[in-house]
Amino acid sequence: MRVAEIALFTEDPDRLIAFYEDVLEAGPESRWRGGAIFAVGDVKLLIHVAGPSGPDDAPNRDHVAFSVGDVDAAAARLGIEARDYEWGRSAYLTDPDGRALELM
């Protein structure tokens, strides 16, 4: 298992993207209206516009994503459900302090 992604959600993605361009001294590897992805070594830093998420959507809030060998097996072991999203198969859970985690 490894950290694959850190996702940060914001009301002002352009401001946050500019901040991380300064901090990282590099531009994003991809950018779209409302977001960007920076490569930080083997970890992706996702900046995304914040907004409501529905019951069938991935959580639209800050989270850390872990790459696991088998998402379905990890989800089953933790008693959660894995689902297919446009970026691939993921499962979401929260830690005891309420922080969101993604298994991908």
φ, ψ of residue 15 to 5 degrees: the values are: -65, -45
- What count of residues does the chain have? 104
Q: Measured between alpha carbons, how far is 53 from 40 in angstroms, rounded to an integer? A: 27
Q: Shortest CA distance to 101 belongs to which of 69, 76, 78?
A: 78
Superfamily of domain 2-51+60-103: 2,3-Dihydroxybiphenyl 1,2-Dioxygenase, domain 1 (3.10.180.10)
The total of other beta-carbon atoms located within 10 Å of residue 93's CB is: 17
- Statement: the pTM of the whole predicted model exceeds 0.75: yes
7-57 residue pLDDT tens: 999 999 999 999 999 999 999 999 999 999 999 999 999 999 998 877 778
**73/41 Cα distance (integer angstroms):** 27
